[in-house]
A and B are shown apart, each in its own frame.
Chain A
């Protein structure tokens, strides 16, 4: 029985390592030239060789992402609470929000560049624009799906709308909020990188574009690996945050035994 648990725990590492081994083997077996598809070993070589440049650009992207994400959290929560608590606002804003979210953000980057010039500002704004939507939608859903019985109970105790929001709406939307953070952080990252590939002279996206224009394909893949690793890392941090704050909502995942919360 124990090896099953060991397999379960090791499975994410096994799939990742397996994937890389498959990739490496395919490149060697079919003698794929490195300027088409470099083997992971070549990508890692490039990673080590250009480490200082990669580090500089990656940390720049990281900061850009975090700023955009932070703005998205603030704005997303405010909008989500407003829309979730007021059916009128929900109805009024819904089509605009859906329409806005349907616009590919790649198409917005040139406009942002027009307004703010090339560089960090468009990247921050793109990260923000892609990331706020899932946060708003989730927070609004958490508030709007309150049990009607609970609302009746509170209203017949003389509770104001603000009381109900504070005592029930907001706490109940927390699991939705934390779930959306995991999505939003990766989206913010993607947004920042997209903007950098289009219009920037800094960041991991810019590094990729300049490397590919000089056919340093292993460096492109090294950058991709860094992007993936950073994405996984940020997701993990968001998950950790979630587990810490809303144990009651994810009890199904980790319920050890009956009555463990006493």
Chain B
């Protein structure tokens, strides 16, 4: 627990992720240019959100940053090193919780620790500490006591919480979230926003959240980036200067609504409206 990344002062943080002039072309029948001339920078410990029309390559960008795909042109740097192969310590969560049905919730949380170095070598000896760590994390997201249940015994919102925990348990370099709350009902989604915000405020990991929900982006992020329709490019970036912790009442204040409108206007300019 002592190995949390150093938290830089609020101003003058160093960029952790830099995407420079990146393009990605999917070859094949009627090949698709998913991204073009894309520039982006995310600071250490920053909460960044990506919004844009559907099919604009938001998810593609996530694959570039994690190294699962290589850019056709330009480059991606993470921690001052160019990304040439999949990064080895990323947390990911998707709209589909993608939990393993044969493992209990607790065992699902332990999965990253069985895979990521250096935890995997220590897993057998330190299983007890890891289990404790997982229990603590579960308790933080309001799931104390469900460790022995199977994922299919949990509701959709609970599963998504578990998925979020799985993405965080190994204290990843970057947390990549691809519309993780997209399939949830409005109330559950708002609860999970607060869960995520609380975790982030406590641990200050670096997050890239891909979403098409503007309220979600403004509520959670330090920076919101608007991506144009295909080929995707960052056409507008906006610092969200709202105090934290942000609460649900804030979503109805004029300042908040102005941010949402501002983003909405730029998406309108981005081309086909979702």
Contacts and interface: CB of A to CB of B under 8 A. Distances in A.
B231 to A, nearest CB: 22
Given A155-B86, A157-B90, A261 B96 contact: no
A171 to B, nearest CB: 5
Contacts of A246: 102
Given A163-B115, A261-B153, A158 B98 contact: no
A153 B100 contact: no
Contacts, number: 74
Contacts of A258: 153
A168 B96 CA distance: 16
16 contacts: A150-B100, A152-B68, A152-B94, A155-B86, A156-B66, A156-B67, A156-B90, A157-B90, A157-B116, A158-B116, A158-B117, A248-B102, A248-B152, A258-B153, A259-B149, A261-B148
B88 interface: yes
A157 B152 contact: no
Given A149-B98, A157-B112, A262-B149, 7 more contacts: A152-B63, A156-B86, A158-B115, A171-B102, A248-B101, A249-B102, A261-B149
B150 interface: yes
Nearest to A251: B152
Contacts of A157: 88-90, 112, 115-116, 170
Contact of A156 (B92, B101, B111): B92
A224 interface: no
B114 interface: yes
A251 B114 CA distance: 27
A153 B153 CA distance: 22
A93 B160 CA distance: 39
Contacts of B68: 152, 155-156
Interface residues of A, number: 26
Contacts of A168: 100
Interface in B90-113: 90, 92, 94, 96, 98, 100-102, 104, 111-112
Given A152-B63, A157-B170, A171-B102, A262 B148 contact: yes
Helix, strand, loop or mixed for chain B's interface? loop
B7 interface: no
B255 interface: no
Interface string A119-154: 000000000000000000000000000010110111
A167 interface: yes
Given A154-B115, A167-B111, A261 B150 contact: yes
Interface string A93-121: 00000000000000000000000000000
Interface string A151-177: 011111111000100011001101000
B96 A147 contact: yes
A168 B102 CA distance: 10
B32 interface: no
Shortest Cβ-Cβ A-B pairs, 4 listed: A158-B88, A156-B90, A149-B98, A149-B94
A158 B89 contact: yes
Contacts of A249: 101-102
Contacts of A154: 115
Nearest to B150: A261
B8 interface: no
B87 interface: yes
Nearest to A261: B150
